[in-house]
């Protein structure tokens, strides 16, 4: 059972904006940076957002991240069919002395 | 750029051990911090542990302590993850993932995954 909680699913039509939340605690999100990963069906995860709101080279600016207190969010604006994937937040947890992933959110493009 | 290639699928019996390899190219292993993540069928991602560059030690997630060993052969730039006392719940895809920066920047290069099936 993960210490970072995400909604199991989210959906939108092409062009819409979708937001995914990630709820943690003071020992993880509250005191450490948040990363987001995208996992397309049948493939390895890919780093999507690092240190709360930074995009690696090659990641479209449709993806944005934010953090406030013990929660973080990933927003996908201008949703596209190729965005259909599982998304995971992650952060270091000081109490567990380990890196923890969120429960994951499946994004469906209607 | 960094490229990770993992060893092939494994089928093991309960109680056995499995050793998965992860070959690095594009960088040397000493320039990177290597981590291992697994994903059971239909489930989420689970961090198993990896190298802590701050103290030069390997950190294991509490769940796997005593059962997992992560090693590196710098002469061949290959990392290994060995999991012992396998049980059916260890059936999963095992990924190696790496970064040349602190972990809070995220793991930005991943291997293709190795499927480990535990079945009698």
pLDDT at B120 over 90: yes
- Name the more confident of B56 and A88: A88
pLDDT at A83 over 70: yes
CA distance B48 to B35: 7
Structure tokens at A79: 């949703």
Beta carbons of A100 and A93 less than 8 angstroms apart: yes
Q: What is the pLDDT of residue A105?
A: 98
Q: Is B47 on the interface with A (CB under 8 A)?
A: yes
Q: What is the pLDDT of residue A2?
A: 81
- Shortest CB distance from A51 goes to which of B49, B59, B104? B104
How far does the CA of residue A79 sit from the closest CA of chain B (Å)? 23
Radius of gyration (C-alpha) of chain B in whole angstroms: 14
Structure tokens at A63: 């993806």
CA distance B21 to A89: 26
Q: What is the pLDDT of residue B53?
A: 77
Beta carbons of A3 and A24 less than 8 angstroms apart: yes
Taking residues B50-63, report their average pLDDT: 88
Beta carbons of B78 and B21 less than 8 angstroms apart: yes
Percent of chain A with pLDDT over 70: 99
Structure tokens at B63: 């769940």
pLDDT at A1 over 70: no
Taking residues A65-73, report their average pLDDT: 98
Q: Which of A26-35, A75-84, B4-13, B45-54 has the lowest mean pLDDT?
A: B45-54
How far does the CA of residue B90 sit from the closest CA of chain A (Å)? 15
CA distance A20 to B64: 29
- Whether residues A44 and B59 touch (CB distance < 8 A) is answered with no
CA B95 to chain centre: 5
Confidence band of B54 (pLDDT split at 50, 70, 90): confident
pLDDT tens column, B71-111: 999 999 999 999 999 999 999 999 999 999 999 999 999 99
Q: Which string of b and e fits A76-90 if b means at least 16 CB within 10 Å?
A: beebeeebebbbbbb
- Whether residues B61 and A96 touch (CB distance < 8 A) is answered with yes
Residue recorded with tokens 């939340």: A21
In B, residues 56-115, which contact A (CB 8 Å cutoff)? 59, 61-62, 95, 97, 103-108, 110-113
* A60 Rama class: left (phi>0) / alpha (psi -120 to 50) / beta: beta
Beta carbons of A67 and A53 less than 8 angstroms apart: yes
Chain A residues touching residue B50 (CB < 8 angstroms):
99
pLDDT tens column, A13-48: 999 999 999 999 999 999 999 999 999 999 999 999
Q: Is B1 on the interface with A (CB under 8 A)?
A: no
- In B26-67, where do the E strands start and end? 33-39, 45-52, 57-60
Q: What is the pLDDT of residue B52?
A: 82
Q: What is the pLDDT of residue B55?
A: 79
- Whether residues A44 and B62 touch (CB distance < 8 A) is answered with no
- Whether residues B95 and A99 touch (CB distance < 8 A) is answered with no
């Amino acid at each position: 059972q993960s210490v970072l909680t995400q909604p199991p699913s989210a959906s939108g039509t092409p062009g819409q904006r979708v937001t995914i939340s990630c709820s943690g605690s003071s020992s993880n999100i509250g005191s450490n940076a948040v990363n987001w990963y995208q996992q397309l069906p049948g493939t390895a995860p890919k780093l999507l957002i690092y240190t709360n709101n930074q995009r690696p080279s090659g990641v479209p600016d449709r993806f944005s991240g934010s953090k406030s207190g013990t929660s973080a969010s990933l927003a996908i604006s201008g949703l596209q069919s190729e965005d259909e994937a599982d998304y995971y937040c992650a952060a270091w947890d000081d109490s567990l002395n380990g890196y923890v992933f969120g429960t994951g959110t499946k994004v469906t493009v209607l | 750029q960094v490229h990770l290639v993992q060893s092939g699928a494994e089928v093991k019996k309960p109680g056995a051990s499995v050793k998965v390899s992860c070959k690095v190219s594009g960088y040397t292993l000493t320039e990177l911090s290597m981590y291992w993540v697994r994903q059971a069928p239909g489930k989420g991602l689970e961090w198993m542990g990896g190298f802590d560059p701050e103290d030069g030690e390997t950190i294991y997630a509490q769940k796997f302590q005593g059962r997992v060993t992560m090693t590196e052969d710098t002469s061949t730039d290959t990392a290994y993850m060995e999991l012992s006392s396998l049980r059916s719940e260890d059936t999963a895809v095992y990924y190696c993932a790496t970064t040349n920066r602190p972990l809070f920047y995220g793991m930005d290069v991943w291997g293709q995954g190795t499927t480990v099936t535990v079945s009698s």
